[in-house]
Amino acid sequence: MVTKQPLSLNHHNPTPAFDEGQVQTQQDALEQEHFLALQEISSRISAILDLGRLLDELIQRVMTTFGYYNVLIFLTDDKGEDLYLAASGRPLTREMQERRFKIGSGGLVGRAASAVISIFVPDVSECDFCTPSGPTILSEMAIPMLVGGLLVGVMDVESDQVGAFKEWDLQLMNTLANQVAASIKAIQLLQESRANTMALEQQTHTMMLISRIAATLTSSLDASEILDRTVRHLVELSNTDYGGVFIMEQNKQHGLVLAEYPTRQLADQRFSYPRTSSSVQQMLEMGIPHVIEDAVNHPLLAPFREQIAPLDIRSLLLVPLVARSDMIGVLFLASLGQQRTFSGEELEICQTIASQAGVAVANARLLQDIQQQKRALARKTQELTEESSKLDVILRNIADGLVVTDNTGRIILSNPVFREMAGLTPDRSLRGFLLAGCFPVTGLQSLTVQALRVPGQVFTENLEMPDGRVLKASATAMRLLPTLLDPEQEKRIAGVATILRDITHEVEVDRMKTDFISTVSHELRSPLTTILGFTNLVQRDIRRSVASYVEADEEASHTIERILENLTIIENESQRLTRIVNDLLDVSKMEAGRIKWRMSKVSLDKVINGAVAATTALAEENDLSIQVYLPPQGLPPVYGNHDRLIQVMINLLSNAIKFTRRGRIEVRGWRLNVHDGMLDISDPAPPIYRSNPTAQKMLADLQFSAGEWVLVSITDTGIGIPVKSMPHIFEKFTQGGKVLTEKPKGTGLGLAICKEIIEYHKGLIWADSEQAQGSTFSFALPLRSQAPEDTPSIPIEE
């Protein structure tokens, strides 16, 4: 509420009236004049658009027109809580100039403002809350300046006389105050809007600058160029003397100043990054910028004091440079020679630009990494291409066929020789094709399947091709090599590599050899029979007819005796020759597949006992005993040829007897169950297989296919076999040099025959031996009592 009614704190004594009428007329004329002056002042100042000038003009005019001692204008501050002195008609003390009044409680001015009424004090000395602007002030009036009911300020009129103001003065000033208030408010609003526009313009300018800088930063993909530009822009923008970027090395222990502006001052110097835990450093590491106003003795700079001394850095703005959430360095702006402050806005701009620069640097580094990797990859590819072309040349030029298949039987790699062997165009790539569909013989595929089951083991098979050629195929499954990324990879199988060698010629030569042996032995048999027959005849005739005639003649008797001995030698040697010839015929027939096997269900117990019975006499002759150990329930029957299996047993037993001077011979029959790569050995397996890990490993290496097997072993305590002979003992005509008698007793064909027989039964035969300790010969037959489904039954004639 605005009261226009002036309020007097003292009883106002009107001037004494002596000629009332005249005085009234003079008064009216003065009032009229004052009023016109008021109008004049009002219209003059309303044309002024500068607040200071307006107030000065107003005060001067009021003072001169109305003869007031001083006029002071107080204006409300931004918050509308205080009044501050905006202008005064007379010079004031500094204290008075800075005076502020609280609206409500601050002296006369504050009270008039809060009560929104004009107050005049005729005698300041009687007012306990008045605060006149000087000691000469004796009366005072305070007039609130209002626009639309809102307080703009207070006009404070002072006089150096007591009771200087009258009601009229109050009314006059009240009117003026309200007119002036409107002009003041208008100017204030204008100023405010100008300030706002300027701030807005400034803000827009800054934003545009930032975005322009950001655009120039991101337009480069070279990290050092980005840093150069960032520093240059920031130095120019903040109007600092010098700026730079300190970038840390990978280990974050040292760093270099990579970019500087306007001059290179710290280049080529390595700075150690302080390992302190100061709060400034911690803040920087968290990405928060920091201002050091007095850099001269700041502890953060202590480690580099000497290095930066020539620069004379006085104030510093530090902005962390963050790339991919990692602080990679610090951007700094420095004031040289003299201190300066950095505004919050500058700090903000620097931070914004630094973060843009961080992203740009991160991108540039990423690009650099990618380019490096690309170059490395290109190098690697080049190397690989060279390697692979070398490999290709090798593969093309090896005489053997090579095919590599994956776990599913698809071809990964093949060489021209293989493709030629398969009857395909050598130039055609078979990659991705199924081996089974590319190769005319099924045996190859089953060989690779077999190899897959036991990685690392070489499986061999002779393949007869439709065109009559014979290929020897050797297949191995290869494991992948462990890699850094996948060390477990080696458990996986890369595929199967199969080498095929054309052995048609060797087979042919072998066949011719066998044919020759077979013919020769056949031809040798009849003369041998004749020699034997005639030797016997001559022996008999001599004994019967000649011996009795010469009994008396000692010398003749001696001669006859010698002739008979020689005849026995002829007989023995002829017998041995017959055995050799028979064995030779056997082997050659077996090898040529010309034997007809009578296959049936065979009791291995009977085979073992039969062979033992046949050799016991020979053993006893040599003071040896033969012990047989079989499972209590006996051995299960196998599918095979009874006589041939007896032949194997007799051969092995005769060898054991032949090569054992003292001790004993043990025969064992036992079962073996192979499943999931494990061997279950049943009793009474020879101790060697139960306790000796090496022998067990050897047993495991024998490539037993999964299923049940029957094993028979003959262990002797004889001379044993030298290690170097071991690989050859199953070959034809292999005889271990000096046997007990110095003279070979056998034919060197026994074990070769055994091998042929056992392999015909799809079995395995092998030997373990230790020189001077004894040998164990073993054979294993797959446990089945009839012909396997995949083999055609064999004719029974032998």
- In the three-class reduction of DSSP (H, G, I as helix; E, B as strand; rest coil), residue 575 is classed as helix
User: For residues 137-156, b (16+ Cβ closer than 10 Å) or e, as one string?
Assistant: bbbbbbbbbbbeeebbbbbb
Which one, 751 or 757, has the nearer CB to ligand ADP? 751
Kindly state the DSSP code that residue 791 receives in the 8-state scheme. S
Number of neighbouring beta carbons within 10 Å of residue 757: 24
Among 716, 756, 766, 768, binds ligand ADP (CB under 6 A): 716
**Judging by beta carbons within 10 Å of its beta carbon (0-12, 13-18, 19+), is residue 19 exposed, middle or buried?**
exposed
We find the least distance from the C-beta atom of residue 658 to ligand ADP, in angstroms, to be 6
Tokens of 515: 């044919």
Which one, 405 or 615, has the nearer CB to ligand ADP? 615
How do 764-770 and 678-681 pair as beta strands?
A: unpaired
Using the rule CB under 6 A, is 747 a contact of ligand ADP? yes
Using the rule CB under 6 A, is 748 a contact of ligand ADP? yes
Using the rule CB under 6 A, is 655 a contact of ligand ADP? yes
Strand partners, 120: 8, 141
We find the least distance from the C-beta atom of residue 721 to ligand ADP, in angstroms, to be 5
Interacting stretch for ligand ADP, rule CB under 6 A, among 121-129, 294-302, 390-398, 732-740?
732-740
We find the least distance from the C-beta atom of residue 749 to ligand ADP, in angstroms, to be 6
Cα distance between residue 798 and residue 791, in whole Å: 18
Which one, 315 or 660, has the nearer CB to ligand ADP? 660
Cα distance between residue 541 and residue 561, in whole Å: 13
Cis peptide preceding 684, ω within 30 of 0: yes
Cα distance between residue 498 and residue 458, in whole Å: 9
With tokens 């499943």, the residue in question is 675
Interacting stretch for ligand ADP, rule CB under 6 A, among 115-123, 418-426, 615-623, 713-721?
713-721
Which one, 496 or 590, has the nearer CB to ligand ADP? 590
Interacting stretch for ligand ADP, rule CB under 6 A, among 51-59, 409-417, 428-436, 715-723?
715-723
Contact yes or no for 523/569 (Cβ under 8 A): no
Among 6, 132, 244, 718, binds ligand ADP (CB under 6 A): 718
Cα distance between residue 258 and residue 53, in whole Å: 54
End-to-end CA, the chain: 142
Among 238, 775, 780, 783, binds ligand ADP (CB under 6 A): 775
Which one, 356 or 775, has the nearer CB to ligand ADP? 775
We find the least distance from the C-beta atom of residue 575 to ligand ADP, in angstroms, to be 14
Which one, 479 or 745, has the nearer CB to ligand ADP? 745
Cα distance between residue 609 and residue 603, in whole Å: 10
Which one, 284 or 719, has the nearer CB to ligand ADP? 719
We find the least distance from the C-beta atom of residue 738 to ligand ADP, in angstroms, to be 9
We find the least distance from the C-beta atom of residue 574 to ligand ADP, in angstroms, to be 17
Kindly state the DSSP code that residue 740 receives in the 8-state scheme. T
Using the rule CB under 6 A, is 735 a contact of ligand ADP? yes
Using the rule CB under 6 A, is 750 a contact of ligand ADP? yes
Using the rule CB under 6 A, is 751 a contact of ligand ADP? yes
We find the least distance from the C-beta atom of residue 586 to ligand ADP, in angstroms, to be 12
Using the rule CB under 6 A, is 719 a contact of ligand ADP? yes
Total number of residues that touch ligand ADP (CB under 6 A): 22
**Judging by beta carbons within 10 Å of its beta carbon (0-12, 13-18, 19+), is residue 251 exposed, middle or buried?**
exposed
Tokens of 778: 């073993």
Using the rule CB under 6 A, is 289 a contact of ligand ADP? no
Which one, 106 or 718, has the nearer CB to ligand ADP? 718
Interacting stretch for ligand ADP, rule CB under 6 A, among 140-148, 399-407, 555-563, 729-737?
729-737
Cα distance between residue 155 and residue 184, in whole Å: 12
Tokens of 270: 């390595």
Cα distance between residue 158 and residue 178, in whole Å: 18
Contact yes or no for 38/67 (Cβ under 8 A): no
Contact map string, positions 597 to 636, toward ligand ADP, x by CB under 6 A: ----------------------------------------
Which one, 119 or 780, has the nearer CB to ligand ADP? 780
With tokens 């009314």, the residue in question is 171
Using the rule CB under 6 A, is 729 a contact of ligand ADP? yes
Interacting stretch for ligand ADP, rule CB under 6 A, among 251-259, 604-612, 670-678, 717-725?
717-725
Which one, 684 or 736, has the nearer CB to ligand ADP? 736
Contact yes or no for 604/638 (Cβ under 8 A): yes
Tokens of 304: 């580099």
Which one, 361 or 714, has the nearer CB to ligand ADP? 714
Going by C-beta distance under 8 Å and a sequence separation of 6 or more, which residues neighbour residue 39?
Answer: none
For residue 139, give the nearest of 158, 155, 154, 126 by alpha carbon.
158
Cis peptide preceding 631, ω within 30 of 0: no
Using the rule CB under 6 A, is 746 a contact of ligand ADP? yes
Kindly state the DSSP code that residue 542 receives in the 8-state scheme. I
Interacting stretch for ligand ADP, rule CB under 6 A, among 52-60, 210-218, 483-491, 733-741?
733-741
We find the least distance from the C-beta atom of residue 719 to ligand ADP, in angstroms, to be 5
Contact map string, positions 240 to 269, toward ligand ADP, x by CB under 6 A: ------------------------------
Interacting stretch for ligand ADP, rule CB under 6 A, among 6-14, 233-241, 482-490, 714-722?
714-722
Number of neighbouring beta carbons within 10 Å of residue 362: 18
Using the rule CB under 6 A, is 734 a contact of ligand ADP? yes
Tokens of 33: 């004049």
We find the least distance from the C-beta atom of residue 505 to ligand ADP, in angstroms, to be 27
How do 470-479 and 459-464 pair as beta strands?
A: antiparallel
The torsion angles phi and psi of 240, rounded to 5 degrees, stand at -95, 170
Residues that bind ligand ADP (CB under 6 A): 651, 655-656, 659, 716, 718-721, 729, 734-736, 744, 746-752, 775
